[in-house]
Chains A and B, each alone.
Chain A
């Protein structure tokens, strides 16, 4: 219950931020966020892990819709990304949790520490990425091509890893 509640709160915070900073497409941001939260709540209640990525996707789409018409890069996107990850992790934790299994306390502490560590590293990486994007914003075609290649390469690596596992 605690993890489920925290997941909904964190995703709600991300959605609220998206709505509060939204431009002319504020209703779209609101709808995306609301649908994401509802979908996550349904997924947790019915123990459907497949709904979690969709909830994250809807909330992320709401955020993106809110950024429509704003040319400046939002620095807080780093925190929003981490919030989405934390919400997804907590929701998965809640869905996986089985009250019949007696867990050792050390296991709980370790999982919490792993999640906190992952969130911190992800936040750091996100800030670095956004800082790099800000620096390279006017760098020209070459860097843009390198960025595209890096993105495609990252997707390829991820798909390869998934296929191998």
Chain B
């Protein structure tokens, strides 16, 4: 606890000393009368000033909320000594707003009293937000001394992004071994009809296609496509972002990643995450609701960290990128390192789709002059970069703020259909 004297203490002490000495020098009793009240206030104030023994704790009703939700918070304060005036202030991080309640607030505490101050907070922005610290400032009855302290506890409010519900997602080219919702290209045990072939020893009778067998005079059996799961790796580029006001490309990318993770997990696919940026984060592919929470939790800590270190795809642990996985990259394509990594992934024959989270809506086109020319060249170079990726066989779709993710995914699907037909 930090203690300091208020400006009043020095002022009153100076007035008292000056007044009494002046009374002696000038021999005027009136000066004593002018000074005595200040002297009395000092004596009473300092006699009544006792250091407060405060205990402060910040509590949250819920540690996990969705973006836009409200959550209750309370600051519990108690003191073993009386506190004549206590100012309490709970510092709110950016992304958390006060919806209801007073902050800061001034109150009085009797000895042994415990008070619980209730607040309603609104989680305005996704992320892991550390609440507090809660600062307390206590004063003695006449305000000569001030004590300041802060609560040692800082609860974290994890705000999950509100994701868009996707009806269709980008289907991976290859499937894995476990059962899932994706119809595999290969033939095996499944529901979807694939072809018929001649009966072979060991084929069960239930697979005999009696109509075809009757027509051809020998036994033919049905073949089917098995339903398998897929591996999807969500690649979030956090090297750089374009930001304007309260929104930015990283926000869009994180929300889209959460929506994609939700959609793929619902399809029983294995979902992994790579946060490629100043800080490299990864999550080995997994399935189920727990994996979804892991992905979203990892996303909350994603932030732009400035780094000059040249990172390539080799820095990513090999287990994070299983063979035949679909890699969906969400990138503003602003940093050469992430573009290089994407091209490298494609060169290693990964099934890659890129959602270009366009930084253009977050910029202002200069009104004229050389700046405008430079801006136009920049946008043209972005188009050229997208074409370069497409020439490498990567499905690229530009996503601008305000347009639905579903439409962007449809664009990616359309490109992949076209590319597949072209290859055949």
Tell me which residues across on chain B come within 8 A of A80, comparing CB atoms: 30, 33-34
Tell me which residues across on chain B come within 8 A of A88, comparing CB atoms: 8, 11-12, 38
B74 to chain A minimum Cβ distance, whole angstroms, is 16
A82-116 interface bits toward B, Cβ cutoff 8 Å, 1 = contact, 0 = none: 10110011001000101011111011001100100
Tell me which residues across on chain A come within 8 A of B35, comparing CB atoms: 81
A122 to chain B minimum Cβ distance, whole angstroms, is 4
The distance in angstroms between the C-alpha atoms of A141 and B240, with both chains bound, is 86
The distance in angstroms between the C-alpha atoms of A98 and B141, with both chains bound, is 18
A110 to chain B minimum Cβ distance, whole angstroms, is 7
Q: Which residues 56-96 in A have Cβ within 8 Å of B in the complex?
A: 56-57, 60, 63-64, 67, 73-74, 77-78, 80-82, 84-85, 88-89, 92, 96
Tell me which residues across on chain B come within 8 A of A162, comparing CB atoms: 5, 9-10, 13, 42
Q: Does B76 contact A (CB under 8 A)?
A: no
Q: Does A161 contact B (CB under 8 A)?
A: yes
- Determine the residue in chain A with the shortest Cβ distance to B10: A162
- Given A53-B12, A92-B143, check contact A158 B34 (CB 8 Å): no
**Main SS class of interface, A:** helix
- Determine the residue in chain A with the shortest Cβ distance to B7: A49
The distance in angstroms between the C-alpha atoms of A56 and B105, with both chains bound, is 31
Q: Which residues 1-52 in B have Cβ within 8 Å of A in the complex?
A: 5-24, 26, 28-44, 46, 49
Tell me which residues across on chain B come within 8 A of A102, comparing CB atoms: 102-106
User: When the two chains form their complex, are residues A155 and B16 in contact, meaning their CB atoms are under 8 A apart?
Assistant: yes
User: When the two chains form their complex, are residues B19 and A122 in contact, meaning their CB atoms are under 8 A apart?
Assistant: no
The distance in angstroms between the C-alpha atoms of A80 and B38, with both chains bound, is 12
The distance in angstroms between the C-alpha atoms of A103 and B137, with both chains bound, is 13
Q: Does B84 contact A (CB under 8 A)?
A: yes
Q: Does A130 contact B (CB under 8 A)?
A: yes
B107 to chain A minimum Cβ distance, whole angstroms, is 5
The distance in angstroms between the C-alpha atoms of A81 and B24, with both chains bound, is 17
- Determine the residue in chain A with the shortest Cβ distance to B139: A96
Tell me which residues across on chain B come within 8 A of A106, comparing CB atoms: 108
Q: Does A42 contact B (CB under 8 A)?
A: no
User: When the two chains form their complex, are residues A159 and B17 in contact, meaning their CB atoms are under 8 A apart?
Assistant: yes
Which of A92, A100, A110 gathers the greatest number of chain B CB atoms within 10 Å? Answer: A92
- Given A64-B26, A73-B29, A151-B23, check contact A107 B107 (CB 8 Å): yes
Q: Does B118 contact A (CB under 8 A)?
A: no
Tell me which residues across on chain A come within 8 A of B6, comparing CB atoms: 49
Q: Does A38 contact B (CB under 8 A)?
A: no
User: When the two chains form their complex, are residues B24 and A158 in contact, meaning their CB atoms are under 8 A apart?
Assistant: no
Within 8 Å by CB of A101, from B8, B15, B106, lies B106
Interface residues on chain B, size class: 35 or more
Q: Does B85 contact A (CB under 8 A)?
A: yes
Tell me which residues across on chain B come within 8 A of A73, comparing CB atoms: 29-30
User: When the two chains form their complex, are residues A57 and B18 in contact, meaning their CB atoms are under 8 A apart?
Assistant: yes
Tell me which residues across on chain B come within 8 A of A155, comparing CB atoms: 16-17, 20-21
- Given A64-B30, A67-B28, A154-B20, check contact A122 B108 (CB 8 Å): no
Within 8 Å by CB of B33, from A118, A130, A148, lies A130
Tell me which residues across on chain A come within 8 A of B14, comparing CB atoms: 53
Q: Which residues 107-133 in A have Cβ within 8 Å of B in the complex?
A: 107, 110-111, 114, 118-119, 121-122, 125-126, 129-130, 133
A119 to chain B minimum Cβ distance, whole angstroms, is 8
Tell me which residues across on chain B come within 8 A of A154, comparing CB atoms: 16, 20, 39
User: When the two chains form their complex, are residues A165 and B30 in contact, meaning their CB atoms are under 8 A apart?
Assistant: no
Tell me which residues across on chain A come within 8 A of B326, comparing CB atoms: none
User: When the two chains form their complex, are residues B104 and A122 in contact, meaning their CB atoms are under 8 A apart?
Assistant: no
User: When the two chains form their complex, are residues A118 and B40 in contact, meaning their CB atoms are under 8 A apart?
Assistant: yes
- Given A73-B29, A101-B106, check contact A125 B19 (CB 8 Å): no
A22 to chain B minimum Cβ distance, whole angstroms, is 13
A132-164 interface bits toward B, Cβ cutoff 8 Å, 1 = contact, 0 = none: 010000000000000110011011011101100
- Given A81-B37, A126-B37, A158-B16, check contact A100 B5 (CB 8 Å): no
User: When the two chains form their complex, are residues A165 and B145 in contact, meaning their CB atoms are under 8 A apart?
Assistant: yes
The distance in angstroms between the C-alpha atoms of A126 and B26, with both chains bound, is 18
Tell me which residues across on chain B come within 8 A of A151, comparing CB atoms: 20-21, 23-24, 32
The distance in angstroms between the C-alpha atoms of A155 and B20, with both chains bound, is 7
Within 8 Å by CB of A64, from B31, B38, B102, B108, lies B31
Instruction: Enumerate the 9 nearest inter-chain pairs by beta-carbon distance, A residue then B residue, closest first.
Output: A53-B11, A102-B102, A122-B37, A85-B37, A77-B30, A133-B29, A49-B7, A77-B33, A103-B106
Give 20 CB contacts A-B under 8 Å. Answer: A50-B7, A52-B7, A56-B15, A64-B28, A74-B30, A77-B29, A81-B35, A84-B34, A85-B41, A92-B8, A107-B108, A129-B32, A130-B33, A151-B20, A151-B21, A155-B16, A155-B17, A158-B42, A159-B13, A162-B13
Q: A81-B34, A82-B37, A125-B37 are in contact. List 14 more A-B contacts (CB 8 A).
A: A52-B11, A67-B28, A77-B33, A81-B33, A84-B37, A85-B38, A88-B8, A88-B11, A88-B12, A101-B105, A101-B106, A104-B106, A154-B39, A158-B39
Residues of A within 8 A of B (CB): 49-50, 52-53, 56-57, 60, 63-64, 67, 73-74, 77-78, 80-82, 84-85, 88-89, 92, 96, 98, 100-104, 106-107, 110-111, 114, 118-119, 121-122, 125-126, 129-130, 133, 147-148, 151-152, 154-155, 157-159, 161-162, 165
